[in-house]
Amino acid sequence: MRLSREKTVRLSHIITDVLVAGEDVEFIEDRATIRQNVVDVLIGLLKEEEQVDAQVRQKIGSQKKEILEGSEEWELLYRKYYGEEMRRMGIVHQPAASGTS
């Protein structure tokens, strides 16, 4: 997902506001520093997501047969490979295998 700088900053304000409103959070830094750290984390996560997207697209493009972007097969492969990459990075937890048959 791509977010503009303005949307990222807006999200950082919302996140910081929620943290400030919570009674369970005690700040040892000033609010502006916390908000900037939130921006940095969001930008880092978005960059990682872009890298995953590029890797998944490359993997689909390297298939023996050409798979057209937007086709049902492309979409299925994208979701599969994207999920695999997220699990590999530890971002998405693998659901437990169900015992139903």
1 token code pair: 């997902």
Domain extent listing, the chain: 5-89
pLDDT digits (tens, 9 = 90+) for 44-101: 988 988 999 999 999 999 999 999 999 999 999 999 999 999 888 887 655 544 444 4
Q: How far, in Å, CA of 101 to CA of 95, rounded?
A: 16
The 10 Å CB-count burial string (b at 16+, else e) for 47-71 is eebeebeeebeebbeeeeeebeeee
pLDDT digits (tens, 9 = 90+) for 4-14: 889 999 999 99
What pLDDT sits at residue 7? Answer: 93
pLDDT digits (tens, 9 = 90+) for 26-38: 888 888 999 999 9
